Amino acid sequence: MSDYVIKIEGVCKSYRFFELDNIALQVPRGTIMGLIGPNGAGKSTTIRILMGLVHQDRGEVRVLGHRMPEGQVAAKWDIGFASDDMRLYGAMTLGWHLRFMQSIYNSWDARYAERLLKRFGLRAEQKIKGLSHGQRVKAALLLVFARRPKLLVLDEPTTGLDPVARHEILRELTEVMADEDRSVLFSSQNTQDVEQISDRITFIDRGHIIDSMDKEAYLDRWRRLRLEAPAGVALPALPGVIGIRQSGRLAVAISNAFEPHLPGAYENSGARVHAVENMTLEEIFVANVERSREEVEA
Amino acid sequence: MKGQVTLRLIMKDWRMNSPVIVLSIIGGAVALGVLLIGGETPFVLGAVFFFTSMIFCACILPLSSIVNERKKQTLAFMMSLPISATQYGTAKLVSTLGAFLIPWLTLIAAALYMILGRHVLPNGAIPITLILATVPFIGFCLITGTALVAESEGWGTAAIAVVNSSYWLAWYLLVSQAPSVTRTWNSRVAVWDSATVNILGAEFVSILLILGLTMILQSRKRDFI
């Protein structure tokens, strides 16, 4: 079997006011891939295509070795899918949902489901309509986790959760990944969540994948340099620097391929380097999106 | 792999729709009970409530089973299960059709019992009762097909409005265009003339056509959520 649980190549999908353009995405087995993008970036459309719920106009999609959307029935036996806009049956109890899922999946782990019920503070006899938003999200994820799927596809699962509930969900996700054969694709607008649990990160904006690599590589390569350029000194355009914002004598340069010699290069040009700072994933995400939009507009 | 997912979905829908099924049967049974009082007014009231029970079931079932699945956002949960859009559509069609047929057949059987067993009406009323009772079945198929294919509350409601306002017209046309059916309704024996058989045949062909078209359109969908 392939080393990739998800392999998307050249996928396009057109709507009247939105276009997913030439999407390529690979998720290696045993990794947590964070898919980050602003509202309307194409995260949910990409996920629906790889679940077979939306058919791509062009391109190839393989999930767990199955060609999508044709192979969606076989693939979905091993995929646990939950999304922000997914609801359970309000009139039924959580216990009814547990029994319903157990009646379908051989892989259902009843003991693990019991453990999750306790850990998430849920009661099987509660009706779904009586649960809070956080409890409903936990209930939906419990139904997914207890199936022990090979691949988890989670579309903004932590949206609208309080910090404690988010922490519980993320901790559980990390535990799920104790099995090295499991993989997760996790979309979110919350870069903190993604930074906390992901091995690899993909940025998507306006229907384009703008970057995709290891989380550590992002954090290693991206730096912010605080510079001072005396009068008459022009800051040079150096390789690896994707943008400079200048205000009077002070400037901030953003590098997406930082090398130790970069500060020296600025010093040699006559500028002073006040600081070289690491960037958070959120800052990297924003800088990446801005660069991508500037390139498109240019 | 455990039992067929499609079968599980059908069982799930039947369980969820059981209140509508029971209510329709109780409503129809009460209506038939009114017929036992005798006299013209109880006859009219009983007949109106009898068909209203069928119409209620024909409207509510597609709404609760199909339109609500999208409106209440449980469709994504269903589609996360190992089924295709076509299998989901088949499960919905079979479960909703089955849920409708339970009260529909029960009420028809009860009406036949009232005619043949209790002699509330003459046997000649059997053909026209079947013809009139099949109209809500066609209405149910139209509403179900529209709800499944259009996947919107607006279209579902529009289909209900159009179908409900067409019942009286359809019944009037049936009766006025086939006078032999109405002429023999109070005869002692049921008369199965060619007009009666043709109308019933056309009704069931319409049902098959609507259901077939629904399945074809459902299987051609490219975007499901």
pLDDT at A202 over 70: yes
Position B225 scores a pLDDT of 66
Map chain B to HEC letters: CCCCHHHHHHHHHHHHHHHHHHHHHHHHHHHHHHHCCCCHHHHHHHHHHHHHHHHHHHHHHHHHHHHHHHHCCCHHHHHCCCCCHHHHHHHHHHHHHHHHHHHHHHHHHHHHHHHHCCCCCCCCHHHHHHHHHHHHHHHHHHHHHHHHHHCCHHHHHHHHHHHHHHHHHHHHHHHHHCHHHHHCCCCCCCCCCHHHHHHHHHHHHHHHHHHHHHHHHHHCCCECC
pLDDT block averages, 10 residues each, chain B of length 225: 79 93 94 88 91 94 90 92 90 94 96 91 92 94 93 88 88 80 84 91 96 89 70
**Residues of chain B contacting A53 with CB distance shorter than 8 Å:** 76, 79, 85, 223-225
Which pair of tokens denotes residue A193?
A: 């969540």
46-85 of B, contacting A, C-beta below 8 A: 72-74, 76-77, 79-85
Give the pLDDT confidence of A117-152 residue by residue, as tens digits: 998 999 999 999 999 988 999 999 999 999 999 999
Contacts of B222 in chain A (CB under 8 A): 54-55
Give the mean pLDDT of A270-277.
94
Pairing of strands A223-228, A79-83: unpaired
Across A8-17, A61-70, A78-87, A187-196, least confident range: A187-196
- Nearest CA to B63 out of B148, B3, B124, B122 is that of B148
Can you tell me the mean pLDDT for A256-278? 93
Contact B82 A104 (CB under 8 A): yes
pLDDT in tens, A7-48: 999 999 999 889 999 999 999 999 999 999 988 899 999 999
Q: For A159-171, what is each residue's pLDDT tens digit?
A: 888 888 888 888 8
| pLDDT at residue A226, as a whole number | 95
Whether residue A180 has pLDDT greater than 70:
no
Residue A286: Cβ-neighbour burial (10 angstroms; 0-12, 13-18, 19+): middle
Question: Is the alpha carbon torsion for B56, B58, B60, B61 positive or negative?
Answer: positive
Q: Which distant-in-sequence residues (6+ apart) come within 8 Å of A176 by Cβ?
A: A145, A152, A182, A184
Q: CA-nearest residue of chain B to A72?
A: B84
Please tell me the predicted confidence (pLDDT) of residue A228. Answer: 93
Do A87 and B76 lie within an 8 Å CB cutoff? yes
Taking an 8 Å cut-off on Cβ atoms, the answer to whether A83 and B16 are in contact is: no
In whole angstroms, what is the distance from residue A70 CA to residue A174 CA?
31
Contacts of B74 in chain A (CB under 8 A): 86-89
Task: Report CB contact under 8 Å: A85, B73.
Answer: yes
